[in-house]
Chains A and B, each alone.
Chain A
């Protein structure tokens, strides 16, 4: 049995990382490719370098953000796992189809349903799953058993939803 506190803290952390990742990816998707590559490299850098090297720089910020469920360094390290898949998903959106819907008066909800989600859903989903697994496994606040019990239902739930959607949509 998992104590409610760490699970909620972890869920909050995952959502915070995911939303930040969405924001970063959204900003990158409208900017140039070169800038996107640079930012992606910067995001990945903390994962490649030893944590002792860069985490001290976060100390002043960490001191101010007392309400964080997990250390800021953990969140920062998980950010590329959210931002990069989402960015890859957003890059797959065909903007000519968005235009095609716009000029026939179809609004944002139709565009989301017909163009954005069909192109980007894998990236959006992966961007949620990867930081969730990363934070669950590496937060240190939960044991491995806890991580499995938090992560497996999540994966199973998402898989079930996805299967149901595939069946409902019928054959290609």
Chain B
């Protein structure tokens, strides 16, 4: 195994990825994953997320380096590299039981986590004796996730699963649960940035085969030169403290210095810090504070920072103390509200989601 003391990224506490492949299947990825935790790989369909994951796993040709700890694992081939990939489809062996499928996993280095941790996080014990045909699609994908996690020792790669929206969300929550317990990072591809941003604050942006931009959710979402802000699923994260529970409506109020955010009830005691996710699609802007009759939960005083035209709409970034928001408005609303940088308006937050974990 090659020693890498002289290489850039050597000894990083995490996984430093530098991979490239020339056109036409262009791939250009330079980013560093943290030592542990979930990272979302976001980008539109065809941006190359799947191919990047396959290249990291060693299934696609790419040159460069993948440094984890003291070693460069690039070019080792899929069998010998300590990264495992969960494919979009489960790829379980139909004739084997779930248990036998899981036993196919062979960690390539000494295990860094016990199997009980992985299986406990995914809660699939009762499926052991069953065959894949007896499982529902979510259970099959979870079994595939468990199998991959049992074999990984440095990095787990999770493709966008071929599941419908609700099931996909449940699967991703399980991925987030698992990632929180693993001693190595998990890189999860997601086409809808909201699905990734709800589960993790760390994103890598993939666009036309290039993945060189990474950072916290808000840093990437609020950059109007990046494609993320245009996506219907664009959203920002806001940190606050649980203020009170509204038992009548089964909701929880999360406050910060910017204002109050109402989310579906959280199992958290007042005073606990938590993040909420504010989708750009649910925000409407008003010139004056909303009256008491307004059904929307919050009317937040915000200041316009930047505007950018996108097709027939305008993307607007807004700030309030401890708060950054992204909104889409029509050209007509933009002129009626006289939106320009520095102008104060009121944001009605139609929908606020609790962030995971």
Please indicate which of the listed interface residues A97, A100, A102, A105 has the most CB atoms of chain B within 10 Å of its own CB. A105
Which of A97, A104, A107, A172 interacts with B84 by CB under 8 Å? A104
B42: CB under 8 A from chain A?
A: no
Given A104-B105, A105-B108, does the pair A96, B93 have CB atoms closer than 8 Å? no
Task: Tell whether B150 is near chain A: CB-to-CB under 8 Å.
Answer: yes
Interface string of A98-141 (1 = CB under 8 A from B): 01111111110010001000100000000000000000000000
Which residues of chain B are near A97, meaning CB under 8 Å?
91, 93
Partner of A99, one of B78, B95, B105: B78
Q: Which of B59, B77, B151 is within 8 Å of A104, CB to CB?
A: B151
Point out the residues of chain B lying under 8 angstroms from A102, CB to CB.
58-59, 77-79
* CB atoms of B91 and A106 under 8 A apart: no
Q: How far is the CB of B54 from chain A (nearest CB, A)?
A: 9
Answer whether A104 and B147 are a contact pair too, CB < 8 Å, given A99-B59, A99-B78: yes
Q: Tell me the nearest residue of chain A to B153, going by C-beta.
A: A105
A104–B87 contact, CB under 8 A? no
Cα–Cα, bound, A172→B133 (Å)? 12
**Closest B residue to A114 using CB positions:** B93
Interface size class of B (residues with CB under 8 A): 20 to 34
Inter-chain CA distance A110–B108, complex, in Å, is 15
Q: Do residues A104 and B104 form an inter-chain contact, with CB atoms below 8 A? A: yes
- Is the Cβ of B104 less than 8 Å from the Cβ of A106? yes
Contact B93 A106 (CB under 8 A): no
Q: Place the interface of chain A in its size category.
A: 10 to 19
Residues from chain A with a CB closer than 8 A to the CB of B96 are: 114
* CB atoms of A114 and B91 under 8 A apart: no
Q: Is B148 an interface residue (CB 8 A)?
A: yes
Instruction: Known A96-B87, A97-B91, A105-B79; judge A110-B59 contact (CB<8 A).
Output: no
Interface string of B156-199 (1 = CB under 8 A from A): 00000000000000000000000000000000000000000000
CB contacts under 8 Å to A, within B78-93, are: 78-80, 83-85, 87, 91, 93
Give the residues in chain B near A105, CB-CB below 8 Å.
79-80, 84, 105-108, 151
A119 vs chain B, min Cβ distance (A): 12
B57 at the A interface (CB under 8 A): yes
Interface pairs (23), CB distance under 8 Å? A96-B87, A99-B59, A99-B78, A99-B91, A100-B87, A100-B91, A102-B58, A102-B77, A102-B79, A103-B58, A103-B78, A103-B148, A104-B104, A104-B147, A105-B79, A105-B80, A105-B105, A105-B106, A105-B107, A107-B79, A107-B106, A114-B93, A172-B95
The 8 A-B residue pairs with the shortest CB-CB distance in the complex, in nearest-first order: A105-B106, A104-B151, A100-B91, A102-B78, A103-B85, A104-B105, A105-B108, A105-B151
